[in-house]
Amino acid sequence: MALDSHIEKVLWTAGEISDRVAELAAEITSDLSPNSPAPVLVGVATGAFVFLADLVRQIKLPISVDFIRADSYGAGTESTGAPRLSLDLKLDVTGKHVILVEDIVDSGSTVASLIGHLEKKGASSVSVCAFLDKPARRKVEFRVVLCILQCPDYFVVGYGMDFAEVYRNLPYVGVLKPEFYS
Ligand code: 5GP
Ligand code: MG
Ligand code: MG
């Protein structure tokens, strides 16, 4: 069955997403100082890969890119609350500004623990750039979120985000029909 037919409702189209990503990239570009060392954009794998790819291509200053991986969900739709670092950085971030790029901030525990990790690795500052923010479910508070869009309390898929490792390739964000969440 075609992929689109699994979706009950589209929350943001590809066009709406690209407009917001362009605005955020312009904001990031204007906040960066051209004389400081190139900041490191760290994507949280796997979910941030689409957002990160779109975002970095619109930032008009030198930057570096790396990935980190923290596992908390398994195959379900509820966070286990205690993310485990399963892939660490390749780059040395000592003395660098790090922008942590996430697909979605839900309880906040993944981002909070990654901020702590990046600070321990010597980053001079860490800011968070999330594609979606789901404030209704926040359990852990943390600093700056440059957020693209506010997400209602649904489990969403697409634009990098999965259900059981499927649906990341949808170019938009949507909610699955109930029969596909099992
Ligand atoms: P948190 O630690 O903030 O509870 O959640 C962190 C991770 O859970 C997010 O980075 C994301 O990978 C996943 N997650 C949270 N909400 C959703 C959602 O609605 N859909 C999908 N596909 N993943 C989610
Ligand atoms: Mg994520
Ligand atoms: Mg996931």
Question: Which residue of 12, 77, 104, 151 sits with most ligand 1 atoms within 8 Å of its CB, as the best mutation to test the pocket?
Answer: 104
pLDDT in tens, 79-101: 666 788 999 999 999 999 999 99
Is 166 or 73 the better-scoring residue by pLDDT? 166
Q: Can you tell me whether residue 97 is helix, strand or coil?
A: strand
Selected from 3.40.190.10, 3.90.180.10, 1.10.760.10, 3.40.50.2020, the CATH number assigned to the domain covering 14-30+37-72+80-157 reads: 3.40.50.2020
Query: Residue type for 82, please?
Result: A
46 preceded by a cis bond (ω within 30 of 0): yes
Q: Tell me: pLDDT of 116 over 70.
A: yes
Q: Is the ipTM of this complex over 0.95?
A: yes
Mean pLDDT of the chain: 92
Q: Worst-scoring range by mean pLDDT, 17-21, 61-65, 119-123, 141-145?
A: 141-145
Q: How far is the CA of 146 from the centre of ligand 2 (A)?
A: 15
The answer, yes or no, to whether residue 103 has pLDDT greater than 80, is yes
Q: What is the mean pLDDT of residues 47-58?
A: 98
Residue 150 sits at φ, ψ, to 5 deg, of -90, 130
Q: Where is pLDDT greater, at 144 or 17?
A: 17
Percent of all residues in the chain with a pLDDT value above 70, rounded to a whole number = 93
Residue 118 and residue 124: Cα distance in Å, rounded?
9
- Choose one of 8, 67, 71, 73 to mutate for the ligand 1 pocket test, by most ligand atoms within 8 angstroms of C-beta: 73
How remote is the CA of residue 49 from the centroid of ligand 1, in Å? 14
Residue 75 predicted with pLDDT over 80: no
Distance CA 135, CA 146 (A): 13
How far is Cα 166 from Cα 94, in angstroms, rounded to an integer?
A: 35
Å from CA of 148 to ligand 2 middle = 14
101 lines ligand 1 (CB under 6 A): no
Q: Which one of the listed residues 106, 133, 153, 162 is annotated catalytic?
A: 106
Percentage, residues of the chain above pLDDT 90: 79
Per-residue pLDDT tens digits for 3-38: 999 999 999 999 999 999 999 999 999 998 888 899
Say what the pLDDT of residue 74 is. Answer: 57
Here the tokens at position 31 are 């906040």
Contact 166, 44 (CB under 8 A): no
| pLDDT score recorded for residue 145 | 72
Whether 71 is catalytic is: no
Q: What is the dihedral of CA 11, 13, 17, 19, to 10 degrees?
A: -130
Decide: 62 and 40 in contact? Cβ < 8 Å: no
What is the amino acid identity at position 55? L
